[in-house]
Amino acid sequence: MQQKNGEPLGAPKHVLIVGGGFGGLRAARDLAGAPVRITLLDRCNHHLFQPLLYQVATAGLTAEEIASPIRSVLRKQRNVRVLLGEVTQVDLEARVAHLAGGQVIGYDYLIVAAGTETNIYGHNDWQPYMVGLKDLEDAFELRRRILLTFEAAERCNNPEERRRLLTFCVIGGGPTGVEMAGAISELSRSILQRDFRAISGDMLRVVLVEMGPRVLAAFDPRLSAQAQKDLAQLGVEVHTKGAVTKISADGVQLGDTYIPCSVVCWAAGVKPQSLAKNMGIAVTRRGNIPVTSDCSIEGHPEAFAVGDIASFIPAGQSLPLPGQAPVAMQQAGSVAANIKRDLKQKKRKPFAYFDKGSMATIGTSRAVLQYGKFRMSGLLAWLAWIFVHVYYIIGFRNRTLVMFNWFWAYLTKRRGARLLAQAVAVPEPSLPAAASSPAQQPAPATEGVA
């Protein structure tokens, strides 16, 4: 391993980074010049620009436009080794990580940045009838179900069943749910409609369900109201105070209200990856790894956790920082800087979060933004949203052409990404469903209603 500016310290320290998301990647990059050898482990081979994942699910962008192989991103950094693998357990005392498959990797420094996964709060029986939105597989599955239900609707002669096939339900009124509902509505109304003969805009129904009293609860109430207005203009039906009591193959039950629908997107919650529980420490009530003021684990200054798998409570506050990309990146940067300070026998600095504000987009020309006491909505907020996302995409891809493609695709709304890889014969909706696993086929294809 190369040491660009390393003093003769003997063997370089080994930094093990678990996860190649916003936190893990930033940590690896910030340690580029340091006299360490880095191993970055991820279960996937790519870094995913998650904020735009909903666009893959709605056929606006291709996977390649928002994801890059991690080893490509870090190609030029000689002190890092990228491995495909899943860490299932960490022994903090022995300073080793256990991988699925049995391999063991030791470390001098550990940075856990494994993130979160979809949380359905124990309702495992709902699983086959809904799709989360956390990784590319989710996005592909959502896209597949959306496209297939249009195909089924095109062939369906029963108006009631066709109405059900053309009803989409998004659960969770946070930024992901709002963006997803808006994007499904835009995709459906403006694009797919012109390719089909039997479907028209008035048959479509997009429902957004939020348990709390308003969408975008983390934003200013005025922005929530604006977002709700924008959603209504895009044709999205918003049900606030709506608690999902059941999700089945042909619809969603909200207490007394039943919504017959075909595709259900679950954006109502995440939980830390199970690795958090397998590190021999007490996790928080939500399952996060509690960390101290320098993002290290109590009693283990060599082990850090960053991003939404960690729970960092700023001094003098009671709530942990939110699970957002800027938090993960800033924490990773702080951790990398403290490791470098360690190597120079300097004193560590505590992590301080700099809030860059929040934004969410509802659809073309519609977004909300808040920064400190500043609030904005509409076209300008949307342009700011585009600018920030393009800026960060360039940050990791650094390819003008890709950015141009992305921008072009977004503006022209070409939906090139509308491919169904598998050959699928859609059974007639008016015929009995074939006996097949619901997890393998989407609701519209298997659930026939006369």
Catalytic residues: 179
Taking CB under 8 A as the criterion, the residue among 94, 282, 315, 421 binding a second copy is 421
Q: Does 197 bind a second copy (CB under 8 A)?
A: yes
Give the whole-angstrom CA distance, residue 411 versus residue 191.
Answer: 13
Quick one: 20 or 242, whose CB is closer to a second copy? 20
Residues in Cβ contact with 327 at an 8 Å cutoff, skipping those fewer than 6 apart: 307, 308, 312, 321, 353
Task: Find the angle CA(236)-CA(240)-CA(242) to the nearest 5 degrees.
Answer: 110
Binding to a second copy (CB under 8 A) within 148-187 occurs at: 148, 151, 154-155
Q: Which region, judged by CB under 8 A, interacts with a second copy, from 120-128, 195-203, 225-233, 321-329?
A: 195-203
Assess 386 for contact with a second copy (CB under 8 A): no
Q: Cα separation of 37 and 257, whole Å?
A: 57
User: Applying CB under 8 A, what is the total number of residues that bind a second copy?
Assistant: 57
How many whole angstroms separate alpha carbon 333 and alpha carbon 321?
16
Q: Which one of 208-216, 259-267, 333-341, 409-417 is the stretch in contact with a second copy (CB under 8 A)?
A: 409-417
Residue 75 within binding range of a second copy, rule CB under 8 A: yes
Single residue of 84, 218, 380, 383 touching a second copy by CB under 8 A: 84
Decide whether 10 or 432 has the Cβ nearer to a second copy: 432
Site membership for a second copy, residue 43 (CB under 8 A): yes
Other residues' Cβ atoms within 10 Å of the Cβ of residue 15: 26
**Beta strand pairing status for 13-18 and 87-91?**
unpaired
* Interface with a second copy, residue 58, by CB under 8 A: no
Contacts of 160 (CB under 8 A, 6+ apart): 449
Cα distance between residue 99 and residue 103, in whole Å: 5
Residue 429 in contact with residue 444, Cβ under 8 Å?
yes
- Chosen residue from 243, 434, 436, 439 binding a second copy by CB under 8 A: 434
Q: How far is the CB of 127 from a second copy (least distance, A)?
A: 17
Is 402 a residue that touches a second copy (CB under 8 A)?
A: yes
Q: Choose, by CB under 8 A, the member of 3, 6, 32, 62 that binds a second copy.
A: 62
Handedness of CA 221, 227, 233, 235 (dihedral sign): negative
CB of 197 to a second copy, least distance (A): 5
> Would you say 121 or 196 has its CB closer to a second copy?
196
Note whether 245 binds a second copy by CB under 8 A. Answer: no
Query: What phi and psi, each to the nearest 5 degrees, are found at residue 119?
Result: -110, 115
Q: What's the Cα-to-Cα distance from 99 to each of 69, 103, 118, 423, rounded to whole Å?
A: 20, 5, 22, 36
431 binds a second copy (CB under 8 A): yes
